[in-house]
Structure 1
Amino acid sequence: TVSKSINQVINQMAKQTPLTCSGHTRPVVDLSFSNKTEDGYFLISACKDGKPMLRQGETGDWIGTFLGHKGAVWAATLNHNALRAATGAADFSANLWDAVKGDVITSYPHKHIVKAVAFSPDCTRLLTGGQEKIIRSFLIEKPDADPDIIGSHEGAIKKVIWGDDGRTMITAADDKSIRKWDPNSKNEVQRFDLESAIMDIELSKEGDIMLVTRSKSIAIYDTKLFTKLREFTMPTNAYSASLHPDKKFIVAGGEDFKLYKFDFQTLEELDSYKSHFGPVHIVRFSPDGELFASGSEDGTVRLWQTNVGTNYGLWRCGSGEDDTPIAT
């Protein structure tokens, strides 16, 4: 009994307190890290308040707020060096931003809500999808040019990503299908269908592995063959999962407000954390794997240490509550 009590105390002491990044006023629904740059790496958050925010990735310090959308922002991403940002919103537009100045470079009109955006690896194209069920590819250097129509789904598109170093595109939609496309021929080259709605997909750093989150399931797929390798069950309905860049861990979150960490090789649950006051909509690892970020219905972004030993403490990130645009 004494030994058990000591272990309980040690485990409790090891539990970390995440950094809480406030400032948003509605649910946070998407997060994206940049790659490492000379100035570190950066984090962008999409929120239903219509005001995506840029933060310093290692510390969560607020850098600025992108002002211009007139509806909920459903998707946000940074290019590899964090000089450009892209967002998709309920005002029927996808915006390309100067991430240093905070200015809109180009606004791409759509006919319905845009829920997914992705830069090509060389940052020459922007891929979009949403309630129109159509996949579009915009040439960034020619903002007035008509986009390439890559294809369509039978349901609203939730995620778009680039695979094979830009040689293919992968899309997931409410029709419960995940499809791979050839951007040159605009043909669907592979697909698989699932039994329940897809909540999230993510590619590994090398692009060889894809995580698929749906219902209470997280599955690991071979990206090239589009075949399932392994699958495990979450304790709750899962909304998002992310793979450590070195394939050490999977972190996931969902309906029960918790974050879960699993060993990638064994799929054993290593830990769980509860700090949010609402369902976790999105979780993503940083490019160095030292931390992961979560976004929730409670309107906060939280940063968690991957290897718990010394916690962050109770510091709060700068919120940017004055909504000052990003300074030059």
Structure 2
Amino acid sequence: MEKRKVAVPLVCHGHLRPVVDLFYSPITSDGFFLISANSSPMLRNGETGDWIGTFEGHKGAVWSCCLDTNALRAASASADFSAKVWDALTGVELHSFEHKHIVRACAFSEDAHMLLTGGFEKILRVFDLNRPEAPAREIDKSPGSIRLATWLHSGQTILSSCTDFGGVRLWDLRSGKIIQTLETTSSVTSAEVSQDGRYITTADGSSVKVWDANHFGLVKSYNMSCIIESASLEPKFGNKIVAGGEDMWLHIFDFHSGEEIGA
């Protein structure tokens, strides 16, 4: 009788609070990387989970984190009313963008020239990283406090969700208007566009969903055993979903079957 192969869990220790956001970089010449947010952003090797470094400087909890296309810069959004951009090689802070309330979301544009933020002010802001001293462009028609914000389709569309409302809203950057809503029962705490641009992965309540990023239909839906705060599609082969939440573990699931293959 053939023995069933058991996957070796990828365990990432070191978090002192629940994992509220995680982000895989695109594949670079040095491999790919994983950044996660709790008390401070933590950078890891995306394949092994090995810790590389922690970005120190925020005076409040970090709610969101991301890497640019080449994994050379990191960004973070914090309860200290700021969003910061870091040198991902040295850990040095490059820019700090002050806000008037808690910042819950941040995202680099595909060309890494713009940084998108959102938070308790109910305003989406776009900062020009080529002119970091310039005022941000503001889109202020969000129906509630912004929980997350990210880019879709080469920086022409913005995805956002609200703390007190279900669904993911798609904004046209040129008009500043909502053009589509992905409906969910619970508030969406995580939304990520896959590296190939085919899928949007979301987390709401104890559910992880995968959507078609071009036609916006629901492709996959998985029910988890706990409340999930964040989820990401592993970029190298696109066959694993990594999810983190209130139990302070990173769980790994098979994309096709939904079976948990590591924790």
TM range (shorter): 0.7 to 0.9
Q: Deviations over 1:245-280 (max 9, x none)?
A: 44434344545667252342xxx3433544xxxxxx
CA contact (8 A) 1:37 1:81 kept: yes
- What secondary structure is seen at the aligned counterpart in 1 of 2:154? helix
Aligned-partner Cα distance in 1 for 2:54–2:105: 19
Per the alignment, residue 123 of structure 1 pairs with 112
Structure 1 stretches of 4+ moved >6 Å? none
Per the alignment, residue 197 of structure 1 pairs with 187
Q: Which moved more, 1:165-174 or 1:209-218?
A: 209-218
Alignment of structure 1 residues 42-81 onto 2, 5 Å: 42-48=33-39, 51-81=40-70
- In structure 1, the gaps of 5 or more residues are 275-328
- In structure 2, the gaps of 5 or more residues are none
- In terms of Rg, which structure is larger? 1
CA contact (8 A) 1:261 1:269 kept: yes
TM-score normalised by the chain length of structure 1: 0.70
Q: Deviations over 1:77-136 (max 9, x none)?
A: 111112211111111000111222322221101111111110000001000011222111
Query: Residue 243 of structure 1 aligns to which amino acid in structure 2?
Result: L
CA separation of 1:187 and 1:65: change in aligned 2, threshold 3 A: same
Match of 2:254 among 242, 262, 277: 262
- What secondary structure is seen at the aligned counterpart in 2 of 1:171? strand
Q: Which moved more, 1:192-201 or 1:139-148?
A: 192-201
TM-score normalised by the chain length of structure 2: 0.85
Query: Residue 206 of structure 2 aligns to which amino acid in structure 1?
Result: K
- The alpha carbon displacement at 1:15 in A equals 4.9
- The alpha carbon displacement at 1:230 in A equals 4.5
Query: Residue 39 of structure 1 aligns to which amino acid in structure 2?
Result: D
For these two proteins, the number of residue pairs brought into alignment is 260
CA separation of 1:213 and 1:143: change in aligned 2, threshold 3 A: same
Aligned-partner Cα distance in 2 for 1:32–1:263: 17
State the Cα RMSD in Å.
2.6
Of all paired residues, the percent bearing the same amino acid is: 41
- The alpha carbon displacement at 1:71 in A equals 0.9
Is residue 136 of structure 2 the alignment partner of residue 147 of structure 1?
A: yes
